[in-house]
A and B are shown apart, each in its own frame.
Chain A
Amino acid sequence: MLPDFRLARPQSAAAAVALRAENPGSRFIAGGTDLLPNIRRGLASPEVLIDLGGVAELRELRADDDKLRIGAGVTLATIAADVRIQQRLPALAQAALAVAGPTHRAAATLCGNLCLDTRCQYYNQSESWRTGNQFCMKLVGDICRVAPKSARCYAAFSGDVAPALLVLGATVELLGPQGVRRLPLAEFYRDDGMDWLALGKDEMLYAVEVPLADGWLSTYDKIRIRGAVDFPPVGVAIALRREGEALAELRSACTGASSRPELIDGLEPLVGKPLDEAGLALLDKRLLKCTQPMETTVVPVPYRRRVMPVLARKLLRNLWQG
């Protein structure tokens, strides 16, 4: 049995946001595959859960001329199985399919994966384990166990879908009592394990818009110990556009390696010419420069730092060679 809370089941997004504003101790729940285990472990203790499962408008998935609009409540199984997404935005379909196992994906939603709680081996533990370790700053304690001298928390963002949407140039729609505001997905995240979302206290993630631009190729893959269920110690998304024999545009993003999904900058020197060894070497360098894997998982940092560029090179080469 979980700790006590009240459950509200609003029928519209506006009603859900109003309930959130009225109840400061509330949380939204969608698929529940991350939040409910966290509540059981004492990592979250909401007074009220606002179940978004009855809000039909959040499950809309439609393609306009030049963009795909995905409601926040669309399940990862639906995204992975959508033929338009498989054909036009393969990185997104692959990332959705890489999350957890088939039973999770049937319940888990886009908003849940994008707002996934940051993870750490000192945080995602039972109450008694954390008590024995005198807690950490993300909950109750006062220091970061992976970086005890640090003033901040280094828990890692481990969602698979965010890096794919970052390289696809997605925008998020946030709904609050004052209405809707839009943000580029990159601005939705902050590099802080305790405060990783630019989401107001009374706002919900309402929808995601992804441009359907011609000529882009994209892909996502993750390193994992087990073929299903595992969170990624590292995941990499790549998108590129080719013009003849030259790389015309290139984007890369990583997950599992920092407190936010990182869009890798400084890749401009690869553009305007064919992909070569020097370009791949620069990609290696930028990946390691832009990310900061810490001891947040049992998979050691040196391995994650080595495997990230290996994975990125493999994905980029495969895309480039078609």
Chain B
Amino acid sequence: MKNILGIWVNGRWREDAVADNALLLDYLRDGLGLTGTKQGCDGGECGACTVLVDGEPRLACSTLAHSVAGRRVETVESLASDGNLSRLQRAFHEHLGTQCGFCTPGMLMAAEALLRKNPKPDRAAIRAALAGNLCRCTGYVKIIESVEAAANAGVAA
């Protein structure tokens, strides 16, 4: 059964007919074509589907679309503006924080939530914030360095 879902996605209010059993992940990827959010393990174990809901990281594969009605959802597509990478995206690019790229959207969104709350996190805080996100390429060190670099770039700016 479909019902009207009113929701903010990347700063824009939308009203769409969405099935009761649609996950937030299904709605974003299949309904809106926002395929930056990845479907990884499909069971809440890998963090590839991490998006922000009212600024907090949330697993889109373990969230029903209707359960976040009226709230503000942000996906990786919202980070760049006017074709320019965000500070965090640029840091991942420059510090080799991404290899195959599959985990990157989830890593970016989890790190984005961290940096908004804690603009100058130490390594322990970065590790804790990314603890639920798996990467099978980088070995994590480059990812942590990328988040650190983004935080330092923010302070310099």
Question: A interface vs B, CB < 8 Å?
Answer: 1-7, 9, 29, 32-33, 36-37, 40-41, 49, 51, 53, 100-104, 106-107, 227-229
Can you pick out 29 interface pairs between chain A and chain B where the beta carbons lie within 8 Å of each other?
A: A1-B22, A1-B23, A2-B21, A6-B20, A7-B3, A7-B66, A32-B63, A32-B64, A33-B59, A36-B23, A36-B44, A36-B62, A36-B63, A37-B43, A37-B61, A37-B62, A41-B43, A49-B20, A51-B67, A101-B131, A101-B133, A103-B50, A103-B58, A104-B44, A104-B132, A106-B58, A107-B62, A228-B132, A229-B45
- Chain B residues in 8 Å Cβ range of A5: 20-21
Which of B21, B62, B110, B128 has a CB less than 8 Å from the CB of A4?
A: B21
Indicate if the CB atoms of A106 and B1 lie closer than 8 Å.
no
Report yes or no: A228 in contact with B131, Cβ–Cβ below 8 A.
yes
Contact call A36/B64, Cβ cutoff below 8 A: yes
Rounded to whole Å, the gap between the CB of B106 and the closest CB of chain A is: 9
Which of B23, B26, B47, B64 sits near A101, CB closer than 8 Å?
Answer: B47
Known: A7-B64, A36-B64. 8 other contacts (CB 8 A): A3-B21, A7-B21, A7-B66, A9-B66, A102-B129, A103-B57, A103-B132, A107-B63
Chain B, residue nearest A124 (CB): B43
Q: A32's contact among B1, B57, B67, B133, by CB below 8 Å, is which?
A: B67
Query: Are A51 and B66 closer than 8 Å at their CB atoms?
Result: yes
Q: Are B59 and A107 in contact (CB under 8 A)?
A: yes
| Nearest-Cβ distance from residue B46 to partner chain A, whole angstroms | 9
Q: How far is the CB of B9 from chain A (nearest CB, A)?
A: 18
When each residue 10-41 of chain B gets 1 if its CB lies under 8 Å from chain A and 0 otherwise, what string results?
00000000011111001000000000000000
A106 in contact with B66 given A1-B21, A1-B22, A1-B26 (CB within 8 Å) = no
- B42 in contact (CB, < 8 A): yes
Chain A residue nearest to B25 in the complex (CB): A1
Inter-chain contact B43/A40, CB cutoff 8 Å: yes
Interfacial chain A residues near B61, Cβ < 8 Å: 36-37
The dominant DSSP class at the B interface is mixed
User: 5 closest Cβ contacts across the A-B interface?
Assistant: A101-B132, A228-B131, A7-B20, A37-B43, A2-B21
A107:B58 contact, CB within 8 angstroms: yes
Q: Does residue B56 face the partner (Cβ distance < 8 Å to A)? A: yes
* B110 touching A103, Cβ below 8 Å: yes
**In this complex, what residue of B is CB-closest to A8?**
B20
Q: Which residues of B contact A (CB under 8 A)?
A: 1, 3, 19-23, 26, 42-45, 47, 50, 56-59, 61-64, 66-67, 69, 110, 128-129, 131-133
- Nearest CB of B to A310, in Å: 24
Bound form: Cα–Cα A2–B26 in Å? 9
Determine if A2 and B23 form an interchain contact, defined as CB atoms under 8 angstroms apart: yes
Please give, as numbers and ranges, the residues of chain A lying within 8 Å of B42 by CB-CB distance: 37, 40
Chain B residues within an 8 Å CB radius of A51: 64, 66-67
Q: Which residues of B contact A4 (CB under 8 A)?
A: 21
Residues of B contacting A101 with CB < 8 Å?
Answer: 47, 131-133
How far apart sit A98 and B129, CA to CA, in the bound complex (Å)? 14
Whole-angstrom CA separation of A101 from B132 in the bound complex = 5
CB-nearest residue of chain B to A77: B56
Bound CA–CA A104/B132 (angstroms): 8
Contacts of A9 in B (CB 8 A): 66-67, 69
CB distance from B24 to the nearest CB of A (A): 10
Whole-angstrom distance between the Cβ of A90 and the nearest chain B Cβ:
18
Set of chain B residues within 8 Å of A49, measured between Cβ atoms: 20, 64
B132:A229 contact, CB within 8 angstroms: yes
Cα A104 to Cα B43 with chains together (Å): 11
| Chain A residues with CB under 8 A of B133 | 101
A102-B128, A102-B132, A103-B110 given; A32·B62 CB < 8 A? yes
Contacts of A103 in B (CB 8 A): 47, 50, 57-59, 110, 132
Question: A33, B64: Cβ atoms under 8 Å?
Answer: no
A7 to B22, CA, bound (A): 10
- How many whole Å from B134's CB to the nearest CB in chain A? 9
A37 and B26 in contact (CB under 8 A), knowing A32-B62, A104-B59, A228-B132?
A: no
Which residues in A have their C-beta under 8 angstroms from that of B20? 5-7, 49
Taking a contact as CB atoms under 8 Å apart, the answer to whether B58 and A102 are in contact is no
Residue of A nearest to B20 (CB): A7
User: Across the interface, which residues of B come within 8 angstroms of A229, CB to CB?
Assistant: 44-45, 131-132
Question: Of all chain A residues, which has the CB nearest B42?
Answer: A40
